[in-house]
Amino acid sequence: MDVISVIRTKRDKGELSPEQIDWVIDAYTRGAVADEQMSALAMAILLNGMNRAEIARWTAAMIASGERMNFDSLSRPTADKHSTGGVGDKITLPLAPLVAACGAAVPQLSGRGLGHTGGTLDKLESIPGWRALLSNEEMLHVLDTTGAVICAAGDGLAPADKKLYALRDVTGTVEAIPLIASSIMSKKIAEGTGSLVLDVKVGTGAFMKNIEDARELASTMVGLGTDSGVKTVALLTDMSTPLGLTAGNALEVRESVEVLAGGGPADVVELTIALAAEMLAAAGIKDADPAKALADGSAMDHWRRMIAAQGGDPDAALPVAREQHVVTAPSSGVLTRLDAYDIGIAAWRLGAGRARKEDPVQAGAGVELHAKPGDTVTAGQPLVTLHTDTPEKFDYALQSLGSAWDIAAEGTSFTPNPIVLDRIA
């Protein structure tokens, strides 16, 4: 077997054989295939695609590159959720303890942000003392004692994906649907969860800009999970407007705690409950009521135990940025558009995100929204507030907001997009 033949096969729109896939993934993980060679293969896959059999074998090969976890010792069924990433997407934070409060165990392996999409681990690390890095034994202990754990994937879990993801990020091949699907599903299947709900974002603030691409990605991942014996369901959800009223690390933690306390923005609450219902159904739990668990405080109790079990102080004050800058509405009328991508870029430029995986993030940086599409605004009223420790970043962030919103005449009718656009199972 040689890598040049593998590259040529896909370059010429051929189907990779199972033997070619197994060999190239193993050889790349061992360092026998160079980065520039795997880059050429990734670009050929982006341009020419893969069929379902190829994607399934590619995913299996990445799983086989490392260890597989097992949660059979737990007394409750496991359910996990994965989001493809968006702006203000803090849903994992209230969702994991909510589902745990309803009787499932939630082994949530999460990642850090890169670019305009925020990372769950970055958000939680704004809580003083909280630890993302747990051993497998620590992860299982937190899961067993609190019902939910949110942590980083260990180095032994699908190491081929970790190496390939970093390469895709710097070679313009992140958007390849076969590689997105296999990247996500190799980690989730290796993680050992019994059921999985996928939140596939659609819109300007998501990787999938249109619903056709999102549906293709969702269907591919649902097929991969189902073929591997994992009960898998996908929701396509709107990401044309930021979720909630915040985009930033500590800002989103604060908003998530509001949701767990029975308040918070309506769109965050709606999506949290919708995903919780799907996770519970997939885990075979039929008599739980997620809305009730939010209202009666049981989800908050699980949150506090989960944070404390990972070294965090749930009562500690969250970081606040040293500087704020208020942007006001330029005219009066009805806010009809608030672009998720532009808001995400502003938050990233303020320090809430990173351009390289090695970059630090500012815990208090981000964007706070004072209105959402459909709201009536008055000229001069606060529309967004920018937060950062480095005020020299304000001008750079403001550049991304130049066309971030539309304000129509007062009395203009407005119908927002539904949060859940489709369901694929």
Of 57, 82, 201, 215, catalytic: 82
Q: Which of 80, 161, 199, 339 does the annotation list as catalytic?
A: 161
Sign of CA dihedral 61, 62, 67, 71: negative
Out of 168, 188, 231, 349, the active site residue is: 168
Asked if 201 and 237 count as a contact pair (C-beta separation under 8 A), the reply is: yes
CB-based burial of residue 337 (10 Å sphere; 0-12 exposed, 13-18 middle, 19+ buried)?
A: middle
Give the C-alpha separation, 390 to 234, whole Å.
39
User: Do residues 202 and 210 make contact, with C-beta atoms less than 8 angstroms apart?
Assistant: yes
Catalytic one of 83, 126, 182, 183? 183
82 counts as catalytic: yes
For this structure, is 35 an active site residue?
Answer: no
Active site residue 161: yes
- Whether 168 is catalytic: yes
3-state SS, the chain, equals: CCHHHHHHHHHCCCCCCHHHHHHHHHHHHHCCCCHHHHHHHHHHHHHHCCCHHHHHHHHHHHHHCCCCCCCCCCCCCECEEEECCCCCCCCHHHHHHHHHHCCCEEEEEECCCECCECCHHHHHCCCCCCCCCCCHHHHHHHHHHHCEEEEECCCCCCHHHHHHHHHHHCCCCCCCHHHHHHHHHHHHHHHCCCEEEEEEEECCCCCCCCHHHHHHHHHHHHHHHHHCCCEEEEEEEECCCCCCCEEEHHHHHHHHHHHHCCCCCHHHHHHHHHHHHHHHHHCCCCCCCHHHHHHCCHHHHHHHHHHHHCCCCCCCCCCCCCEEEEEECCCCEEEEEECHHHHHHHHHHHHHCCCCCCCCCCCCCEEEECCCCCCEECCCCEEEEEEECCHHHHHHHHHCCCCCEEEECCCCCCCCCCCEEEEEC
Q: Among 187, 231, 305, 393, which one carries the catalytic annotation?
A: 187
| Enzyme catalytic residues | 82, 161, 168, 183, 187
